[in-house]
C-alpha cells in the first residue's frame, strides 16, 4: 500500500538468480586479473607489438565485460494492476491516447501490412473515442492512402468483431493466420467466416492496386483526398497532404453496432528536394504538431508500420505507470520490448533476445530503459522539452466530448497543413530542444537520452502476452546493414556533445550513463574482434605463439574465462526462451556483426568526421520473394548478392581455414611433432577451429550450394585471392 493509503497501480520486483550472476562475474574478473598479470609478466623480447595488440584487445574485452556486468547487475521486472486502474477511473475519465504509425515506402512496406497494423491499434481494449490513430506516409503514396481508406471502412466491422470475440491479436492478418475458425458456436463461426471473407476481399483489392502501381480514375472520384495527388510531382517533391478519414468527435463516426470509432488521420508531410526532411524523426515531429491541433492527447504511442499490436490491453498497462499517484508523475515514457513474429525456430539471424528480455530490464534497474523507437508510450510533455520537477502538475484528464464537432474536419485539414510544411521548423527548437532529435540516424536513442537528461524517468514493461510483434530481416545482408546503421548512429552519439557523460551528467545516474555504453560502443568492438579473428591465425602461420602453452598453468585463466563466459551465455540464452542452436546462431551473428557491420560503421564515422559523408536512413525491406522466404523458413543463410560485407566475411573465413589446413599438413608430420606443436600453439589452433566452425555457412555458400542464395562467384574469387595473399605474407 502507498504512502497515502492507496493501492499502487504497478509493482517492481528484482530478477531471480542475481547471486549466481554476481558470483560468476566476480570469478570472471579474477580470471581477467590473472590474464593481465600473465600478459605483463611474460612480455616477449621479439614480436612484442603483436603481444601488445593482444593485450590491448583483451583489455577492451574486459572493459566491455565490465559494462555488461553493470547493465545486468540489478535488472528489475514490472507488472501492472489493470483491475485497480479500472476501479479507480471510469471509462470517461481515462485520458486520450494518440497513436503514431510511420511508413516510408510502399515497395518495401506493403500497404496491406501497414493497414493491418493500423487496424490492430484501432481495436485496442480502450474507449475508442479516446483513441486517435495517425498514419505518417513519408512515401506520399496514393496506394497507401487508398489502403487506409479501405481500412477505415473495414474498421466498422472489425472493431465490433474484436470486442465480441475478445480477439487477440487484433491485427486481422495475424489473427486469421493463427486462429482457427470457432466450431462450438455456429453463429459465431458464420460471423467469423464473413469477417474473414471481407478482410480477404479488401486485401485482394489493395494488393491488386499495388501491383497496378496507381489508383484508377473511377476510384479516385470516390474520395476528395485523391485530388491532393494532382499536385504531387514525386515522393520527394509535394505539398502537405492531410486527410481525416474518421473524425472521432462526430456523431457519424460509429461502427455497425453504433459504438464510437477512433479518429483516423492520414498525413504526408511536405517535401521539397532542396530541403532536408530528417527521415523518421521529421515525420514524428510533424505528427506531434498535427496531433496537438486535432486531438492533443496527453499520451502518445508510436509503432513502426510492421509492428502490429499483439496485446489489446497494452495501453491500459502503460497507463498504470503514468496514472500511479505516487510515482507516475516522474515517468516520461514506458518502453515495451521489440519482439518479432516471423522468427525461425533457431533464429538464424539472431533475435535481440538478450537485449530485449534482459539488458533493457537492467537499464530499468539503473535508472530507466533507452527509447528504442517503437512500442513506446510517451507523456506528451516529455517530448515537448518540458523538464521534470516535483512541483510539476500535469492536467491529463481529457475533455469529455459530447460528440459535437467544434470545428469541421475540412477546416482542420486546411489549418493544420502548415504544421507539416517543410519550412515550419526553420528557426524553431524542433529537432534540437523539442520533439524527436535530429542529426543522428538513431534518433530514438538520442531522444531517450535527452528526455532522461531533463529529469524524467522511464520504465520497461514486459507483459505476459507480448505487446507488439514486428518483423526481422529475412536476409543476412539486410541484417548486417540494419546493425551497421544502428552502430554508426550510436557511436555518433558517443562522440557528440549529447553523449550521456556530458549531456546527462546532472540528471542521469552514473550507472545509467555507463549502461548506454553497451550500445554506444558497438563500433570500437570491431577492432578488438578483428584483431582476435585475424592475428592469431596469421601468427600461427608465422610460428609465433600468442598464448601460454597448453601444459602451462597460465593457460587455466584463459580457458576458464573463455569456457565459463560462453557457458553462462548459453544458459542465459536458453533461460530466456531460446534454443541451443539459436544460441549458436546468435554467436555466429555476434562475430559477423563485429567484423562487418561495426567495421563499416567505423569507416563511415571516420568519413563523417572528415566531412566526406552524410547520414542516410536506410529502410529495411519487409517483403521478399518466395525463394528467399522458403530458404529463410528452412534456416538456410541468404547471401545472393555481391557486397563488400560478404567479401570481408568470406576472406576472414578462408584465411582461418587456410591456416588450419597448413598447420595440419605441414607441422603435424609425426606424433611427437603433433604433441609439441599442440602444446605451443594449442590455444591458437583451438581458436582457429572455433572460427572455422562458426563460418561453416560461409563455406557452404561459397562451395556447396547451388541455389540463388549462395555467395556469388565474384565474391568467392575475390575472397580466395585476398586470403591467399594474406597467407602468403604470413608464411614468407
> What value does the mean pLDDT take over residues 452-481?
95
pLDDT at 262: 96
**324 known member of a binding site:** no
Percent of the chain with pLDDT over 70: 94
Write out the catalytic residue numbers. Answer: 138, 444
Question: In the 8-state DSSP scheme, what is residue 234?
Answer: B
- Look at 251-260, 399-408, 491-500 and tell me which has the smallest mean pLDDT: 399-408
Mean pLDDT within 387-396: 71
Point out the least confidently predicted range of 381-385, 406-410, 482-486: 406-410
The closest of 82, 151, 92 to 121, measured between CA atoms, is 151
pLDDT tens track for 548-581:
999 999 999 999 999 999 999 999 999 999 999 9
* pLDDT tens profile 70-91: 999 999 999 999 999 999 988 8
Are 504 and 453 a contacting pair, CB within 8 Å? yes
Report the pLDDT value the prediction gives residue 185, as an integer from 0 to 100.
79
Q: What is the pLDDT of residue 405?
A: 47
Q: How confident is the model over 278-297, as pLDDT tens digits?
A: 999 999 999 999 999 999 99
pLDDT per position as a tens digit, 589-645: 999 999 999 999 999 999 888 877 665 555 565 556 789 999 999 999 999 899 999
Please compute the mean of the pLDDT values over residues 234-260 and round it to a whole number: 91
**pLDDT at residue number 404:** 47
Q: What would the mean pLDDT of 332-337 be, rounded to a whole number?
A: 97
**CB of 121 within 8 A of CB of 99?**
yes
User: Which set of grid coordinates corresponds to residue 366?
Assistant: 539503473
What does the pLDDT read at residue 398? Answer: 46
Lowest mean pLDDT among 314-323, 497-506, 706-715: 497-506
Q: How far apart are CA 99 and CA 291, in angstroms?
A: 9
Confidence of residue 711 (pLDDT cuts 50, 70, 90): very high
Residue 694: is its pLDDT beyond 80?
yes
Helix (H) / strand (E) element for 27: namely helix 18-41
Q: How far is CA 404 from the centre of its chain?
A: 41
300: β partners:
98, 378
Q: Look at residues 482, 404, 500 and name the one whose alpha carbon lies nearest to residue 446.
A: 500
Q: Which range, of 183-187, 390-394, 488-492, averages the lowest pLDDT?
A: 390-394
360 — pLDDT class (breaks 50, 70, 90): very high
pLDDT exceeds cutoff 70 at 394:
no
Task: Name the helix (H) or strand (E) containing 507.
Answer: none
pLDDT of residue 252: 87
Q: Kindly indicate the confidence band of residue 666, based on its pLDDT and cuts at 50, 70 and 90.
A: low
Is 304 marked within a binding site?
Answer: yes
Measured between alpha carbons, how far is 7 from 457 in angstroms, rounded to an integer? 21
pLDDT at residue 730, as a whole number: 85
Residue 109, annotated as binding a ligand: yes
- Dump strand ranges (E) for 532-677: none
The predicted model scores a pTM of 0.93
Cα 107–chain centre separation: 21
Residue 138 annotated as binding site: yes
Question: Burial of 365 by CB count in 10 Å (0-12 exposed, 13-18 middle, 19+ buried)?
Answer: buried
Q: What's the whole-number mean pLDDT along residues 1-26?
A: 87
Q: Where are the alpha helices (DSSP H) in 42-185?
A: 48-72, 82-88, 111-122, 142-165, 172-178
Helices and strands of the chain, counted as H and E runs: 27, 12
pLDDT score at 403 = 42
Over range 31-37, report the average pLDDT: 96
Mean of the per-residue pLDDT values of the chain = 91
pLDDT reported for residue 385: 84
Per-residue confidence at 402, pLDDT binned at 50, 70, 90? Answer: very low
User: In this structure, how many other beta carbons lie within 10 angstroms of the beta carbon of residue 322?
Assistant: 23
Answer with the residue of higher pLDDT: 620 or 64. 64
Handedness of CA 444, 447, 452, 455 (dihedral sign): negative
At residue 616, the pLDDT reads 57
Element spanning 136, H or E: strand 131-137
Amino acid at each position: 500500500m502507498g504512502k497515502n493509503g492507496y493501492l499502487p497501480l504497478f509493482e517492481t520486483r528484482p530478477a531471480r538468480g542475481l547471486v549466481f550472476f554476481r558470483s560468476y562475474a566476480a570469478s570472471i574478473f579474477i580470471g581477467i586479473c590473472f590474464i593481465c598479470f600473465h600478459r605483463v609478466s611474460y612480455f616477449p623480447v621479439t614480436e612484442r607489438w603483436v603481444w601488445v595488440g593482444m593485450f590491448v584487445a583483451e583489455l577492451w574485452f574486459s572493459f566491455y565485460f565490465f559494462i555488461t556486468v553493470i547493465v545486468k547487475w540489478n535488472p528489475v521486472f514490472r507488472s501492472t494492476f489493470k483491475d485497480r486502474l479500472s476501479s479507480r477511473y471510469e471509462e470517461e475519465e481515462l485520458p486520450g491516447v494518440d497513436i503514431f504509425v510511420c511508413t516510408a515506402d510502399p515497395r518495401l512496406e506493403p500497404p496491406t501490412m501497414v493497414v493491418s497494423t493500423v487496424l490492430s491499434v484501432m481495436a485496442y481494449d480502450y474507449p475508442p473515442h479516446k483513441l486517435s490513430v495517425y498514419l505518417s506516409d513519408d512515401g506520399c503514396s496514393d496506394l497507401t492512402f487508398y489502403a487506409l481508406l479501405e481500412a477505415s471502412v473495414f474498421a466498422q466491422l472489425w472493431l465490433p468483431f474484436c470486442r465480441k470475440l475478445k480477439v487477440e491479436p487484433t491485427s486481422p492478418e495475424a489473427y486469421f493466420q493463427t486462429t482457427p475458425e470457432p466450431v462450438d458456436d455456429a453463429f459465431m463461426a458464420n460471423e467469423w467466416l464473413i469477417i474473414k471473407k471481407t478482410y480477404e476481399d479488401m486485401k485482394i483489392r489493395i494488393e491488386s492496386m499495388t501491383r497496378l502501381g496507381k489508383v484508377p480514375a473511377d476510384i479516385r472520384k470516390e474520395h476528395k483526398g485523391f485530388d491532393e495527388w494532382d499536385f504531387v510531382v514525386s515522393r520527394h517533391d509535394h505539398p502537405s497532404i492531410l486527410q481525416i478519414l474518421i473524425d472521432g468527435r462526430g456523431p457519424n463516426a460509429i461502427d455497425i453496432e453504433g459504438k464510437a470509432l477512433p479518429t483516423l488521420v492520414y498525413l504526408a508531410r511536405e517535401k521539397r528536394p532542396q530541403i532536408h526532411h530528417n527521415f523518421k524523426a521529421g515525420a514524428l515531429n510533424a505528427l506531434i504538431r498535427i496531433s496537438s491541433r486535432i486531438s492533443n492527447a496527453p499520451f502518445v504511442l508510436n509503432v513502426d508500420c510492421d509492428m502490429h499490436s499483439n496485446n489489446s490491453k497494452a495501453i491500459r498497462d502503460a497507463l498504470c505507470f503514468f496514472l500511479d499517484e505516487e510515482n507516475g508523475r516522474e515517468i516520461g515514457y514506458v518502453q515495451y520490448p521489440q519482439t518479432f513474429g516471423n522468427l525461425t525456430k533457431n533464429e538464424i539471424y539472431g533475435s535481440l533476445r538478450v537485449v530485449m528480455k534482459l539488458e533493457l530490464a537492467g537499464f530499468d534497474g539503473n535508472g530507466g530503459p533507452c527509447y528504442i523507437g517503437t512500442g513506446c508510450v510517451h507523456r506528451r510533455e516529455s517530448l515537448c522539452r518540458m523538464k521534470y520537477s516535483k512541483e510539476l502538475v500535469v492536467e491529463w484528464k481529457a475533455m469529455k466530448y459530447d460528440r459535437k464537432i467544434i470545428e469541421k474536419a475540412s477546416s482542420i485539414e486546411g489549418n493544420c497543413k502548415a504544421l507539416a510544411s517543410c519550412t515550419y521548423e526553420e528557426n524553431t527548437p524542433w529537432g534540437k530542444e523539442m520533439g524527436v532529435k535530429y542529426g543522428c540516424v538513431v534518433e530514438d536513442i538520442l531522444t531517450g537520452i535527452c528526455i532522461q537528461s531533463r529529469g524524467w524517468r522511464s520504465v520497461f514493461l514486459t507483459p505476459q502476452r507480448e505487446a507488439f510483434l514486428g518483423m526481422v530481416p529475412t536476409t543476412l545482408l539486410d541484417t548486417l546493414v540494419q546493425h551497421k546503421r544502428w552502430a554508426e548512429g550510436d557511436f555518433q552519439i558517443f562522440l557528440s556533445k549529447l553523449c550521456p557523460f556530458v549531456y546527462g551528467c546532472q540528471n542521469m545516474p552514473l550507472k545509467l550513463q555507463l549502461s548506454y555504453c553497451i550500445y554506444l560502443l558497438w563500433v570500437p568492438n570491431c577492432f578488438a574482434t578483428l584483431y582476435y579473428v585475424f592475428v592469431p591465425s596469421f601468427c600461427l602461420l608465422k610460428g609465433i605463439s600468442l598464448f601460454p602453452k597448453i601444459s602451462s598453468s597460465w593457460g587455466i585463466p584463459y580457458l576458464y574465462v573463455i569456457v565459463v563466459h560462453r557457458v553462462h551465455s548459453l544458459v542465459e540464452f536458453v533461460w530466456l526462451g531460446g534454443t541451443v542452436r539459436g544460441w549458436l546462431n546468435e554467436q555466429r551473428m555476434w562475430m559477423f556483426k563485429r567484423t562487418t557491420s561495426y567495421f563499416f560503421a567505423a569507416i563511415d564515422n571516420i568519413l563523417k568526421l572528415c566531412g566526406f559523408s552524410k547520414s542516410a536512413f536506410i529502410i529495411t525491406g519487409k517483403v521478399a520473394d518466395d525463394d528467399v522466404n522458403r530458404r529463410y523458413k528452412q534456416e538456410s543463410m541468404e547471401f545472393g548478392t555481391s557486397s563488400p560485407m560478404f567479401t570481408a566475411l568470406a576472406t576472414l573465413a578462408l584465411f582461418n581455414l587456410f591456416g588450419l589446413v597448413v598447420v595440419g599438413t605441414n607441422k603435424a608430420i609425426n606424433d611427437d611433432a603433433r604433441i609439441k606443436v599442440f602444446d605451443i600453439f594449442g590455444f591458437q589452433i583451438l581458436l582457429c577451429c572455433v572460427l572455422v566452425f562458426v563460418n561453416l555457412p560461409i563455406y557452404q555458400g561459397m562451395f556447396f550450394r547451388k541455389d540463388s542464395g549462395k555467395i556469388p562467384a565474384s565474391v568467392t574469387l575475390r575472397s580466395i585471392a585476398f586470403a591467399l595473399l594474406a597467407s602468403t605474407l604470413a608464411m614468407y
